Every structure is written in C-alpha cells, then in structure tokens.
Structure 1
Amino acid sequence: MIEQLTHLRMSALRYYPEFIDNRQSFEMTRQFLQDRLVSCTSATYFEHDNRICAGWLESFEDCPNFGTPVTLVVLLADPADESAINWLRKEAARRSGHFASNTELLLDAPYEMLLPDLVRAGLHVESVILHGCPTKALDLLGRDRPDFGRYGLECRRLTDYAEVEAVMNLQERLFGANPEYGWFVALPGHLRAKREELMQELEDGSPFRFVLFRDNRLLGTFAFTPAFDHPFWGAMASVEVMLDPEIQRQGVGREAYREMLLAMETANIEVFRGGTSHPAVLKLSERMGRQLRAWEVRAGERMFSDEHFRYPKTSL
C-alpha cells in the first residue's frame, strides 16, 4: 500500500519543473507517508481495479514547527485522475463543519481545483508557499548592493546572545499583535523552538542570519537556511523576513531580499522557498517572479478574504 500512496504523492510533485524526480526523492516521500500512517487517526481510500487511486489521511501530531498539537491532513491523488479528484471533493463535503480547530493541510498547486470544495467544507487559506530562483529574482529586482544606510539602519550578521533575545522579543511582539500572519508564531512552544534554532545558528557562526539596528535598537531580522542537497529541490534555501512596523512600507524588505539573494547566488542556491500571507511580501514576490507552489489551508478563524490570496499563478 505504501508504494501506491507514494506514487500518488509523486504524481503531484512532478508538476513542478524544479522537482528532482529520482530514487532519493521517492524514498523521502515514502518515509513521510510512512510516518503519517504510524500516527494516523483516520485513513480513507478510493480504490479501483484493486488499486488505490486516492487517499485522505489525518493524523494528530505534536509538530515542532507549530509548537502545539495539530491535526495534519494529507490528500493523495493523481491530479489528472478526474475520478480520484471527484472522490476527494466528496470526502471534503462529507467532513464539512467537522474539522478540528487546529486542522492543517498543505494543498499543492496541482490540486487547485479542490480549493473551493475545501473552503465550502469549512477550511480557509492562511498563507501561500512560493518558490523562486535567486538569479531570476535579482535580474528583476536589480543587482545594486543593498543600501540600508539610506534608511538610517545598520545591517550586520547575528553575533551575540543579546541579539538573539532581541530577535525573540520582536517576533513575540509582532506576531502576538498580528496572528493573521502566523497564528502559531507567538505561541510559547514555537518561540522555544525558534530560540534554540537561533542559539544553534549563533554557535555555528551562520553567515546567513542578518539583523537590522537603528540607534542600538533591533528593528528587523532576515535570514535564509540553505540545504545544498535537498532530495526534492537540490540546492535550496528557506527564507524569512521580520521587520518592525517602524521600518515597514519603506523599501527595507526589498533591500533585505536583495541582500539574501546575492548571498544565495554566491552560494549557488537554485531555489528559495517560503510561506507568507503578508500583502507587502506577496507584492514583492510577484516582482521577483516567484511561483505559487502550495496553499497552507486550515480550520479555525478566517483571517483573510479570498481576494487576498489571488497570487498570479504562472505555468507549472
């Protein structure tokens, strides 16, 4: 069974031109699904001719990324299989109004046709996952060296423990006041995990974590985390940007991305990835030519209208 489920998951990933389709990515996908089955609380399958054509998996897990237990939903089907997609539509309708409050589902872009069904069933989009190419993004944004001094800011790399605490205070303050941009980011469990991550970066001397200061006050941080041999994406990096409202809507975010993109290009990063619901980041991402790769969908309070996430979807 696990082999059939893995092939279904791979059929969606193959829609992405940057996806590396080989044995290593197959095994990573297989392990991901095996882990979900171990913690599974519900598994429903659509079978035809003794073959699994679609699946709906739910598992209740204590995810370090969220810092709190969540119900994870995984949808499996070949996006080109109309009967399998219709079965998933019916499964969504059958669960309408019965999703646990912290239900999370990562809906890959090839399943876009299911989004209205999930919304009708009581889920909503909380953010989008975007991919970009550093070289292409720099060509579109411009390759001039970022100038933070024009904003009265000093940009430097994270260097001491006091700066770690300042970053954590900024994160708790920003996302505590604006949970729509990350409902879990100010939760104690997530903050603990993030502090440990920053401490490790500091001990390792990571060159990819930047902090912004004005008058000895930390007003922002941005970073990318490289994975030079990712089984799915090859040389890729996850990105994050966090700015105090005092320096938002002035162009600082654009400079932060250019600083990271130049460093990524030097490090031969081919794909950068990140999730966002922030309108300024969505607008800047469009300028950088980033492509939508997934929607993060969840149950609970709806924070945004459908219009908020009408991100331009370029060809897969």
Structure 2
Amino acid sequence: MNSEEKDLSLKHLAHDLNNIFTRIFASIELLKLKNRTDENYASLLNNIESGAYLASEIINTTIGKSSASIQNRRININTIIQDVVNSYQGYANGKINFSLSLQPNLKLINAKYVDISRIVMNLITNALESIENAGNVSIKTFILNNDQLIKIIIADDGVGIDENLYNLIFAEGFSTKPHTNKSGYGLSIVKSLVELYKGTIDVQSSKQKGTQFTLTFPAAVTSKVTIDSSKTVLIAEDENTLRYLLTELLQSYNYKVVSVSNGKEALELFATNRFDVLIIDKIMPQLDGIECIKQIRKQNYNIPIILASGSSTADSSLINALNISYVLNKPYNFDEMISVIEDILT
C-alpha cells in the first residue's frame, strides 16, 4: 500500500470511527434527557463522554488534523483529574498518596479535552518528580465568583522550588530537574495552554516543603435555547443508527425532522417538501453530500445547509462556493449543533 492509499485508508477509518463515536454521544445525550438523578449514573456518563472525545481527538491528530481544527468541547475538569490520577496509580507504586477534594457539580469549561489533559498530566508529573521517596499530592477544585470561575489547586510536599526561580520556571526550556529527566510537557507549554483558554496559573513553593500550583478558568456559559417548533430539519445520513439517534435528539428539542439515507433521497424529498435547514453528511452512497448540495444550489435554492464531515475538513473555497452555512465535524458536539441550528433559523 503506497502512502496515498494509506492516507485514504486512514481517513476512511476515521470517518467510520467518528460515526461510531457520534452514536455513542447521541445515546449519552438522550440518556441525559431522561432526567436521571443518580450521581453515579451521571458520573459514568461523564466518564464515557470525556474518554470518547479524547479518543476521537487522538484519531484526528493521527490523520493529520491540526490542533486548531479540533473543536472545543464543554468538559468536566473533575473527570479529567480523576482519569489522570487513576492513570498514575501504577506509576506511583503505592509510594504517593493522592488526596482529591473535587467540588460536586462543578461547572464545565469550554476547551479541548486533550489540552486540559496535558495541563493536568504535566502538573501531576512535576509533582511526582519532585517527591524523592514517598509523599503526598493533593488536588482541589472550587467554583468562584457566582459560578463564573473554576479554581484548581495541585500541591505536593516535594523538594520545592527556590523563590528566586519563580520568574524562570515558565520560561521555554527551563527546568529545575536533571536534563536526563524527560517526563512532562514543560511548564512553558502548560502556561501557554492555560492562557489559550483565558485562564491563569500561579505558583507558591518552599524548599523542602513543597509546591502549589493554582489555576483558574472561566466557566462555560450555558445557553438557554428557545426552539421554534414550526421549523423542519432534513437529515441526510447513511448510517442507520446515527440517523435514528439524530432524529430523536432533534425531536427532543421540538424540531420536526425528516431523515433519509443518501443524497438521492434527499433531492427527491427536497423537490416536493419545504424544509428550513438541511444537515447533509459529506460521504454517502449513490449521491454524496457535496454533489447533493451542488444540485440543490443549481436550482437556485438558498436554504441553509450544514455539512457533516467525519473524515476531514472540506476545502474552504468549495464551502464558500456552495454557500454552506456551517461545517459540523464528527463526532458532534450536540450543544454546538443545537446552537448552530438556532443561529441559522433566527
């Protein structure tokens, strides 16, 4: 298999896997709508959701998508902290005591799961490497400023940092550890990622007593969507289960929904029915999404169209030429989907 064939194979793999992930996320969204109140049930859903998003983002990175093209998600920092701590239990080998005090029902933040995981992993790695034998790492989360700010404290009782080095520890390439120690991503990367999401990071430390990093992030704003139940959405999606779940999800928001399995069926329905917005999958049998949209535009219809893509981002010049309202990458962020539809229809 030559490089071009391998690249195509990977993109097809990503397309199919992202369809599977989207089915998982749609199922999660529908379960959330059942108003289950059991705390363990909700926690399990969050773990499934965040883990699947991470896997999806790794896939996208593997096939060459830039980090900038990966969508931000509404994520739970508590879940990331718990996942990272669990992953370090074997590494700690019983010599490190992790103490977690994570505020229940912590507000979400809008960020890339991979980036926040890198921040937490690096700070925990630094804490573990500062502890020479046995010791303690404590992690706390809080909500401040009337639910508008999330605060995280990661502290250890390791060897500490000289106060006169505080201004250097975030500098590119600076380390208080031996150069042979390659663990972690570097505090300069952590600082840049924190600032990317309009957060802050501060350090306090004492030699032979330990170090404490304090981070803050703005909480994600929860939008209150008002749905016009007179609006009708046409979904063209070839994957049966995903098509069913998307229909159920949009109907739960009081949209009228019609769904088909390919572009040919979409054109036939479009010719005899009125729709307010179309969600068209890019890759479908018989007539793919791009060709379907081309034929709609040839008939001079200016209906809003959302292009769904599970493999790679469509060419921007083609998007503009076809007057596509929005490109929605799989796996879907369902808050984003509802928000996009609302914006289009208002």
Give the TM-score taking structure 1 as reference length: 0.25
Higher strand share: 1
Q: Which has more radius of gyration?
A: 2
Give the TM-score taking structure 2 as reference length: 0.24
Higher relative contact order by CA 8 Å / sep ≥ 6: 1 or 2?
1
